[in-house]
Amino acid sequence: MLTYSLATLAGFVLLMWGADRFVVGAASTARNLGVPPLLIGLTLVGMATSGPEIFVSITAALDADPELAAGNAIGSNIANIGLVLGATALIMPISVRSTTLRRELPALLAVTLVLTMVFINLRLGRVEGVLLLGTLVLVLYWLVVLGQRSDAADPIGLDYAAELPEGLPMAKSIGWLVLGLVVLLAGAQLLVWGAQELAVAFGVSDLVIGLTVVAVGTSLPELAVSVMSALKGEHDMAIGNIIGSNIFNSLAVVGLAAVIHPATFEPSVLALHLPVMIGMTLALFLMTYNFAGNSRIRRSEGALLLGAFFAYHGYVLLG
Protein backbone atom coordinates (compact mmCIF):
# COMPACT_ATOMS: atom_id res chain seq x y z
CA MET A 1 0.00 0.00 0.00
CA LEU A 2 2.81 2.41 0.89
CA THR A 3 4.53 1.72 -2.44
CA TYR A 4 1.35 2.44 -4.39
CA SER A 5 0.69 5.64 -2.43
CA LEU A 6 4.24 6.88 -2.96
CA ALA A 7 4.06 6.06 -6.68
CA THR A 8 0.79 8.01 -6.96
CA LEU A 9 2.26 10.96 -5.04
CA ALA A 10 5.42 10.93 -7.15
CA GLY A 11 3.26 10.83 -10.28
CA PHE A 12 1.37 13.93 -9.11
CA VAL A 13 4.63 15.81 -8.42
CA LEU A 14 6.07 14.92 -11.83
CA LEU A 15 2.82 15.88 -13.56
CA MET A 16 2.73 19.28 -11.86
CA TRP A 17 6.37 20.07 -12.64
CA GLY A 18 6.11 18.71 -16.18
CA ALA A 19 2.93 20.69 -16.85
CA ASP A 20 4.60 23.89 -15.62
CA ARG A 21 7.64 23.39 -17.86
CA PHE A 22 5.43 22.41 -20.78
CA VAL A 23 3.38 25.62 -20.40
CA VAL A 24 6.58 27.71 -20.26
CA GLY A 25 8.06 25.96 -23.29
CA ALA A 26 4.92 26.03 -25.42
CA ALA A 27 4.00 29.63 -24.56
CA SER A 28 7.50 31.03 -25.05
CA THR A 29 7.94 29.12 -28.33
CA ALA A 30 4.66 30.56 -29.63
CA ARG A 31 5.61 34.04 -28.42
CA ASN A 32 8.99 33.79 -30.18
CA LEU A 33 7.08 32.94 -33.36
CA GLY A 34 5.05 36.13 -33.02
CA VAL A 35 1.74 34.64 -31.82
CA PRO A 36 -0.29 37.26 -29.86
CA PRO A 37 -0.51 36.64 -26.06
CA LEU A 38 -4.33 36.43 -26.07
CA LEU A 39 -4.26 33.74 -28.76
CA ILE A 40 -1.63 31.80 -26.80
CA GLY A 41 -3.73 32.05 -23.65
CA LEU A 42 -6.96 30.92 -25.29
CA THR A 43 -5.42 27.90 -27.03
CA LEU A 44 -1.97 26.74 -25.90
CA VAL A 45 -2.31 27.57 -22.20
CA GLY A 46 -5.71 25.89 -21.94
CA MET A 47 -4.33 22.81 -23.69
CA ALA A 48 -1.13 22.79 -21.64
CA THR A 49 -2.88 23.06 -18.27
CA SER A 50 -4.85 19.95 -19.32
CA GLY A 51 -1.54 18.20 -20.02
CA PRO A 52 -1.71 16.01 -16.88
CA GLU A 53 -5.25 14.86 -17.70
CA ILE A 54 -4.37 14.20 -21.35
CA PHE A 55 -1.28 12.14 -20.55
CA VAL A 56 -3.06 10.19 -17.78
CA SER A 57 -5.93 9.51 -20.23
CA ILE A 58 -3.61 8.22 -22.96
CA THR A 59 -1.63 6.09 -20.50
CA ALA A 60 -4.75 4.62 -18.88
CA ALA A 61 -6.39 3.87 -22.25
CA LEU A 62 -3.23 2.19 -23.57
CA ASP A 63 -3.27 0.15 -20.35
CA ALA A 64 -6.85 -0.96 -21.18
CA ASP A 65 -8.30 1.18 -18.38
CA PRO A 66 -10.65 3.68 -20.10
CA GLU A 67 -12.76 4.00 -16.92
CA LEU A 68 -9.84 5.68 -15.16
CA ALA A 69 -9.36 7.99 -18.15
CA ALA A 70 -13.04 9.02 -18.36
CA GLY A 71 -13.31 9.37 -14.58
CA ASN A 72 -10.27 11.62 -14.60
CA ALA A 73 -11.84 13.92 -17.23
CA ILE A 74 -15.27 14.19 -15.58
CA GLY A 75 -13.79 14.43 -12.09
CA SER A 76 -11.29 17.10 -13.16
CA ASN A 77 -14.08 19.23 -14.62
CA ILE A 78 -15.94 18.97 -11.32
CA ALA A 79 -12.77 19.70 -9.32
CA ASN A 80 -11.82 22.68 -11.51
CA ILE A 81 -15.10 24.43 -10.73
CA GLY A 82 -15.94 23.11 -7.26
CA LEU A 83 -12.48 22.92 -5.70
CA VAL A 84 -10.31 25.30 -7.75
CA LEU A 85 -12.79 28.09 -8.42
CA GLY A 86 -14.48 27.64 -5.05
CA ALA A 87 -11.21 27.86 -3.11
CA THR A 88 -9.99 30.78 -5.24
CA ALA A 89 -13.19 32.80 -4.70
CA LEU A 90 -13.09 32.01 -0.98
CA ILE A 91 -9.57 33.48 -0.77
CA MET A 92 -10.34 36.45 -3.04
CA PRO A 93 -13.70 37.38 -4.67
CA ILE A 94 -13.31 37.17 -8.45
CA SER A 95 -14.48 39.89 -10.84
CA VAL A 96 -15.16 39.05 -14.48
CA ARG A 97 -14.62 41.95 -16.88
CA SER A 98 -13.48 40.27 -20.10
CA THR A 99 -15.80 40.26 -23.11
CA THR A 100 -13.76 37.40 -24.57
CA LEU A 101 -14.35 35.33 -21.45
CA ARG A 102 -18.10 35.86 -21.63
CA ARG A 103 -18.02 34.59 -25.21
CA GLU A 104 -16.15 31.45 -24.08
CA LEU A 105 -18.75 30.49 -21.49
CA PRO A 106 -21.48 29.45 -23.99
CA ALA A 107 -18.85 27.35 -25.77
CA LEU A 108 -18.16 25.49 -22.51
CA LEU A 109 -21.89 24.82 -22.11
CA ALA A 110 -22.09 23.49 -25.68
CA VAL A 111 -19.05 21.24 -25.14
CA THR A 112 -20.60 19.91 -21.91
CA LEU A 113 -23.76 19.06 -23.84
CA VAL A 114 -21.77 17.23 -26.54
CA LEU A 115 -19.91 15.21 -23.89
CA THR A 116 -23.20 14.25 -22.20
CA MET A 117 -24.68 13.15 -25.53
CA VAL A 118 -21.81 10.76 -26.30
CA PHE A 119 -22.24 9.13 -22.87
CA ILE A 120 -26.01 8.74 -23.27
CA ASN A 121 -25.82 5.00 -24.07
CA LEU A 122 -23.03 4.42 -21.50
CA ARG A 123 -20.68 3.35 -24.27
CA LEU A 124 -17.80 5.23 -25.82
CA GLY A 125 -16.54 3.86 -29.10
CA ARG A 126 -14.11 5.15 -31.69
CA VAL A 127 -16.92 6.94 -33.53
CA GLU A 128 -17.73 8.96 -30.39
CA GLY A 129 -14.03 9.58 -29.85
CA VAL A 130 -13.62 10.95 -33.38
CA LEU A 131 -16.73 13.11 -32.85
CA LEU A 132 -15.20 14.63 -29.70
CA LEU A 133 -11.83 15.22 -31.37
CA GLY A 134 -13.57 16.73 -34.41
CA THR A 135 -15.47 19.06 -32.08
CA LEU A 136 -12.14 19.99 -30.50
CA VAL A 137 -10.80 21.07 -33.91
CA LEU A 138 -13.88 23.25 -34.46
CA VAL A 139 -13.55 24.80 -30.98
CA LEU A 140 -9.85 25.51 -31.54
CA TYR A 141 -10.67 27.23 -34.83
CA TRP A 142 -13.36 29.28 -33.10
CA LEU A 143 -10.96 30.25 -30.31
CA VAL A 144 -8.40 31.40 -32.88
CA VAL A 145 -11.05 33.55 -34.60
CA LEU A 146 -12.21 34.84 -31.20
CA GLY A 147 -8.66 35.76 -30.23
CA GLN A 148 -8.06 37.59 -33.51
CA ARG A 149 -11.27 39.59 -33.23
CA SER A 150 -10.97 40.48 -29.53
CA ASP A 151 -10.18 43.99 -28.39
CA ALA A 152 -6.46 44.49 -27.73
CA ALA A 153 -7.38 46.11 -24.42
CA ASP A 154 -9.49 43.14 -23.24
CA PRO A 155 -8.53 42.50 -19.57
CA ILE A 156 -7.82 38.79 -20.09
CA GLY A 157 -5.46 39.62 -22.96
CA LEU A 158 -3.57 42.03 -20.72
CA ASP A 159 -3.40 39.35 -18.00
CA TYR A 160 -1.89 36.82 -20.40
CA ALA A 161 0.56 39.38 -21.77
CA ALA A 162 1.79 40.07 -18.24
CA GLU A 163 2.23 36.42 -17.30
CA LEU A 164 3.46 34.68 -20.45
CA PRO A 165 7.26 34.22 -20.54
CA GLU A 166 9.21 36.45 -22.88
CA GLY A 167 12.88 36.83 -23.72
CA LEU A 168 13.45 33.06 -23.56
CA PRO A 169 15.66 31.89 -26.47
CA MET A 170 13.99 29.54 -28.94
CA ALA A 171 16.39 26.68 -28.19
CA LYS A 172 15.65 26.91 -24.45
CA SER A 173 11.91 27.21 -25.12
CA ILE A 174 11.91 24.03 -27.20
CA GLY A 175 14.09 22.34 -24.59
CA TRP A 176 11.55 23.06 -21.82
CA LEU A 177 8.75 21.94 -24.13
CA VAL A 178 10.38 18.57 -24.81
CA LEU A 179 11.46 18.04 -21.20
CA GLY A 180 7.96 18.91 -20.00
CA LEU A 181 6.46 16.30 -22.33
CA VAL A 182 8.90 13.61 -21.15
CA VAL A 183 8.24 14.35 -17.47
CA LEU A 184 4.47 14.42 -18.08
CA LEU A 185 4.71 10.96 -19.65
CA ALA A 186 6.77 9.58 -16.75
CA GLY A 187 4.41 11.11 -14.19
CA ALA A 188 1.37 9.69 -15.95
CA GLN A 189 2.89 6.20 -16.01
CA LEU A 190 3.60 6.31 -12.27
CA LEU A 191 0.24 7.81 -11.40
CA VAL A 192 -1.84 5.36 -13.43
CA TRP A 193 0.02 2.35 -12.00
CA GLY A 194 -0.29 3.61 -8.43
CA ALA A 195 -3.95 4.57 -8.84
CA GLN A 196 -4.88 1.20 -10.35
CA GLU A 197 -3.24 -0.65 -7.48
CA LEU A 198 -4.88 1.63 -4.88
CA ALA A 199 -8.28 0.90 -6.45
CA VAL A 200 -7.66 -2.82 -6.01
CA ALA A 201 -6.38 -2.34 -2.45
CA PHE A 202 -9.40 -0.26 -1.38
CA GLY A 203 -11.90 -2.39 -3.30
CA VAL A 204 -13.28 0.48 -5.40
CA SER A 205 -13.59 0.82 -9.16
CA ASP A 206 -11.04 2.54 -11.38
CA LEU A 207 -13.83 4.98 -12.28
CA VAL A 208 -14.13 6.09 -8.64
CA ILE A 209 -10.35 6.47 -8.27
CA GLY A 210 -10.32 8.51 -11.48
CA LEU A 211 -13.19 10.73 -10.32
CA THR A 212 -11.62 11.45 -6.94
CA VAL A 213 -7.91 10.88 -6.25
CA VAL A 214 -6.62 11.21 -9.80
CA ALA A 215 -8.97 14.08 -10.73
CA VAL A 216 -8.00 16.17 -7.71
CA GLY A 217 -4.30 15.50 -8.28
CA THR A 218 -4.36 16.45 -11.95
CA SER A 219 -6.32 19.63 -11.09
CA LEU A 220 -3.57 20.90 -8.78
CA PRO A 221 -1.85 22.92 -11.57
CA GLU A 222 -5.13 24.76 -12.22
CA LEU A 223 -5.52 25.39 -8.47
CA ALA A 224 -2.04 26.92 -8.23
CA VAL A 225 -2.48 29.06 -11.35
CA SER A 226 -5.97 30.30 -10.43
CA VAL A 227 -5.11 31.21 -6.83
CA MET A 228 -1.93 33.07 -7.86
CA SER A 229 -3.79 34.85 -10.69
CA ALA A 230 -6.55 36.01 -8.33
CA LEU A 231 -4.03 37.23 -5.73
CA LYS A 232 -2.31 39.27 -8.47
CA GLY A 233 -5.61 40.80 -9.50
CA GLU A 234 -5.70 38.82 -12.77
CA HIS A 235 -9.23 37.59 -12.13
CA ASP A 236 -10.24 36.96 -15.73
CA MET A 237 -7.23 34.70 -16.27
CA ALA A 238 -8.11 32.72 -13.12
CA ILE A 239 -11.48 31.81 -14.62
CA GLY A 240 -10.21 31.61 -18.20
CA ASN A 241 -7.77 28.84 -17.25
CA ILE A 242 -10.62 26.81 -15.76
CA ILE A 243 -12.89 27.28 -18.81
CA GLY A 244 -10.08 26.34 -21.20
CA SER A 245 -9.05 23.32 -19.14
CA ASN A 246 -12.63 22.00 -18.93
CA ILE A 247 -13.11 22.35 -22.68
CA PHE A 248 -9.94 20.36 -23.39
CA ASN A 249 -10.75 17.79 -20.69
CA SER A 250 -14.18 17.14 -22.22
CA LEU A 251 -13.00 16.87 -25.81
CA ALA A 252 -9.32 15.87 -25.91
CA VAL A 253 -9.07 13.70 -22.78
CA VAL A 254 -12.26 11.67 -23.33
CA GLY A 255 -11.88 11.70 -27.13
CA LEU A 256 -8.35 10.26 -27.07
CA ALA A 257 -9.32 7.60 -24.53
CA ALA A 258 -12.30 6.50 -26.65
CA VAL A 259 -10.25 6.29 -29.86
CA ILE A 260 -7.50 4.27 -28.16
CA HIS A 261 -9.76 1.90 -26.18
CA PRO A 262 -13.59 1.84 -26.56
CA ALA A 263 -15.44 1.04 -23.35
CA THR A 264 -18.78 0.71 -21.59
CA PHE A 265 -19.50 2.45 -18.28
CA GLU A 266 -21.57 1.87 -15.18
CA PRO A 267 -24.99 3.62 -14.88
CA SER A 268 -23.71 5.97 -12.15
CA VAL A 269 -21.86 7.95 -14.83
CA LEU A 270 -25.19 9.05 -16.31
CA ALA A 271 -27.17 9.07 -13.06
CA LEU A 272 -24.70 10.96 -10.83
CA HIS A 273 -21.33 12.06 -12.16
CA LEU A 274 -22.35 13.77 -15.41
CA PRO A 275 -25.31 15.58 -13.75
CA VAL A 276 -22.93 16.92 -11.07
CA MET A 277 -20.53 18.11 -13.79
CA ILE A 278 -23.40 19.76 -15.67
CA GLY A 279 -24.64 21.39 -12.46
CA MET A 280 -21.18 22.79 -11.70
CA THR A 281 -20.88 24.14 -15.26
CA LEU A 282 -24.30 25.80 -15.06
CA ALA A 283 -23.36 27.31 -11.69
CA LEU A 284 -20.19 28.76 -13.22
CA PHE A 285 -22.23 30.21 -16.10
CA LEU A 286 -24.87 31.77 -13.85
CA MET A 287 -22.25 33.26 -11.51
CA THR A 288 -20.08 34.78 -14.21
CA TYR A 289 -22.19 35.50 -17.30
CA ASN A 290 -23.59 39.00 -17.17
CA PHE A 291 -25.01 40.68 -20.26
CA ALA A 292 -24.44 44.11 -18.69
CA GLY A 293 -20.68 43.55 -18.50
CA ASN A 294 -19.18 43.14 -15.03
CA SER A 295 -19.95 40.20 -12.75
CA ARG A 296 -18.44 38.84 -9.57
CA ILE A 297 -18.04 35.50 -7.78
CA ARG A 298 -18.41 36.28 -4.08
CA ARG A 299 -16.86 34.44 -1.14
CA SER A 300 -20.29 33.04 -0.24
CA GLU A 301 -20.61 31.57 -3.74
CA GLY A 302 -17.09 30.17 -3.50
CA ALA A 303 -18.05 28.51 -0.23
CA LEU A 304 -21.13 26.99 -1.89
CA LEU A 305 -19.03 25.57 -4.74
CA LEU A 306 -16.51 24.16 -2.29
CA GLY A 307 -19.27 22.68 -0.11
CA ALA A 308 -20.89 21.02 -3.13
CA PHE A 309 -17.53 19.59 -4.20
CA PHE A 310 -16.83 18.02 -0.79
CA ALA A 311 -20.42 16.73 -0.49
CA TYR A 312 -20.10 15.03 -3.89
CA HIS A 313 -16.75 13.45 -2.98
CA GLY A 314 -18.08 12.32 0.37
CA TYR A 315 -21.03 10.64 -1.34
CA VAL A 316 -18.82 8.94 -3.98
CA LEU A 317 -16.28 7.64 -1.47
CA LEU A 318 -18.61 6.73 1.39
CA GLY A 319 -21.92 6.08 -0.39
Residue 216 CA to residue 133 CA, distance in Å, equals: 24
Q: Check residue 152 and give its pLDDT.
A: 66
Instruction: Label residue 306 by pLDDT band (50, 70, 90).
Output: very high
* 54-81 average pLDDT score: 92
Q: In this predicted structure, which of 3-7, 180-184, 229-233, 277-281 has the lowest mean pLDDT? A: 229-233
Residue 82 CA to residue 305 CA, distance in Å, equals: 5
Give the CATH H-level superfamily of domain 2-318. Answer: NCX, central ion-binding region (1.20.1420.30)
Residue with the bigger pLDDT between 92 and 152: it is 92
Among the listed residues 221, 227, 224, the one whose alpha carbon sits nearest the alpha carbon of residue 249: 221
CB distance 254 to 115 below 8 Å: yes
Q: Check residue 294 and give its pLDDT.
A: 61
CB distance 183 to 17 below 8 Å: yes
C-alpha dihedral over 109, 110, 112, 117, to 10 degrees? 140
pTM of the model: 0.90
116 pLDDT more than 70: yes
DSSP class per residue in 24-42: HHHHHHHHHTT--HHHHII
The CA-to-CA distance between both ends of the chain, in Å, stands at 23
If residue 18 lies in a helix (H) or strand (E), which one and from where to where? helix 2-32
* 163-175 average pLDDT score: 85
Q: Check residue 251 and give its pLDDT.
A: 95
Instruction: Label residue 283 by pLDDT band (50, 70, 90).
Output: very high
User: What does the DSSP 8-state code read for residue 96?
Assistant: E
34 pLDDT more than 80: yes
Instruction: Label residue 76 by pLDDT band (50, 70, 90).
Output: very high
Taking each helix axis as running N to C, give the angle between helix 51-62 and helix 235-248, from 0 to 180 degrees, rounded to the nearest 10: 20
167 pLDDT more than 70: yes
Q: Which phi and psi angles does 98 have, rounded to 5°?
A: -75, 125
Residue-wise pLDDT tens digits, 212-267: 989 988 888 778 878 888 888 877 888 888 888 899 999 999 999 999 999 999 99
If residue 296 lies in a helix (H) or strand (E), which one and from where to where? strand 295-297
CB distance 100 to 156 below 8 Å: yes
309 pLDDT more than 90: yes
3-state secondary structure of 297: strand
Instruction: Label residue 292 by pLDDT band (50, 70, 90).
Output: low
Taking each helix axis as running N to C, give the angle between helix 66-79 and helix 51-62, from 0 to 180 degrees, rounded to the nearest 10: 160
C-alpha dihedral over 302, 306, 308, 312, to 10 degrees? 160
Instruction: Give me the percent of the chain exceeding a pLDDT of 90.
Output: 41
